Amino acid sequence: MERANVVIVGGGVVGCAIARALSARWSDVFVLEALPKIGMGTSTRNSGVIHSGIYYPPGSLKAKLCVRGNRLTYEFCAAHNVPHRNCGKLVVAALDEEIKDLTALMQNGCVNGVEGLAMIDREEIRAREPHVAAKHALLVPSTGIVSAEDLVKAYARVAADRGAHIVTNAKVDRLEPLPDGVRIHSAAGEIEARCLVNSAGLFADEMASLLGSKMAEHRIYPVRGEYCELVRSRQDWVRGLVYPVPHHLRMTLGVHLVKTVWGNVLLGPTAHYVDDKNDYERNRERVEDFAEAAKQLLPELTVADLVPSYTGIRAKLAPPPGASGGTGSANAMTDFIIQRDPEFPQVVQLIGIESPGLTSAAAIAELAENLVREILD
Ligand X SMILES: Cc1cc2nc3c(=O)[nH]c(=O)nc-3n(C[C@H](O)[C@H](O)[C@H](O)COP(=O)(O)OP(=O)(O)OC[C@H]3O[C@@H](n4cnc5c(N)ncnc54)[C@H](O)[C@@H]3O)c2cc1C
Member of 158, 251, 353, 362 binding ligand X (CB under 6 A): 353
> Which residue, 88 or 99, has its beta carbon nearer to ligand X?
88
> Which residue, 35 or 323, has its beta carbon nearer to ligand X?
35
Q: How far is the CB of 219 from ligand X (least distance, A)?
A: 15
Candidates 95-103, 104-112, 243-251, 351-359 — which segment interacts with ligand X by CB under 6 A?
351-359
Are 193 and 7 in contact by the 8 Å Cβ rule? The answer is yes
Q: Site mask, ligand X, residues 148-187, x = CB under 6 A?
A: ----------------------xxx---------------
Q: How far is the CB of 13 from ligand X (least distance, A)?
A: 5
Are 221 and 321 in contact by the 8 Å Cβ rule? The answer is no
Task: Give residue 7's identity as a one-letter amino acid code.
Answer: V
Angstrom distance (rounded) from CA 130 to CA 96: 20
Check residue 359 for interaction with ligand X (CB under 6 A).
yes
Give the strand pairing for 89-93 and 118-121: unpaired
Member of 72, 182, 357, 365 binding ligand X (CB under 6 A): 357
Angstrom distance (rounded) from CA 155 to CA 162: 11
Candidates 100-108, 159-167, 347-355, 366-374 — which segment interacts with ligand X by CB under 6 A?
347-355
- Count the site residues for ligand X by CB under 6 A: 41
Are 227 and 129 in contact by the 8 Å Cβ rule? The answer is no
Member of 46, 112, 147, 198 binding ligand X (CB under 6 A): 46
- The answer to whether the bond into 269 is cis (omega within 30° of 0) is yes
Check residue 144 for interaction with ligand X (CB under 6 A).
no
Residues within window 216-235 making contact with ligand X, judged by CB under 6 A: 225
Residues within window 84-123 making contact with ligand X, judged by CB under 6 A: none
Q: How far is the CB of 24 from ligand X (least distance, A)?
A: 19
The DSSP symbol for 260 reads -
The DSSP symbol for 180 reads T
Task: Give residue 120's identity as a one-letter amino acid code.
Answer: I
> Which residue, 126 or 334, has its beta carbon nearer to ligand X?
334
Angstrom distance (rounded) from CA 204 to CA 211: 11
Residues within window 23-42 making contact with ligand X, judged by CB under 6 A: 32-35, 40-42
Check residue 4 for interaction with ligand X (CB under 6 A).
no
What Å distances lie between residue 320 and 208, 316, 325, 327, 370, CA to CA?
Answer: 21, 9, 10, 8, 34
Check residue 22 for interaction with ligand X (CB under 6 A).
no
Q: How far is the CB of 43 from ligand X (least distance, A)?
A: 3
Strands (E), 122-280: 136-140, 144-146, 165-167, 172-178, 181-186, 189-198, 221-230, 241-244, 256-259, 265-268, 272-273
Q: Site mask, ligand X, residues 235-274, x = CB under 6 A?
A: ----------------------------------x-----
Angstrom distance (rounded) from CA 357 to CA 347: 20
Check residue 312 for interaction with ligand X (CB under 6 A).
yes
Angstrom distance (rounded) from CA 267 to CA 265: 7
Task: Give residue 122's identity as a one-letter amino acid code.
Answer: R
Question: By the criterion CB under 6 A, which residues form the site for ligand X?
Answer: 9-15, 32-35, 40-43, 45-49, 51, 170-172, 199-203, 225, 269, 312-314, 353-359
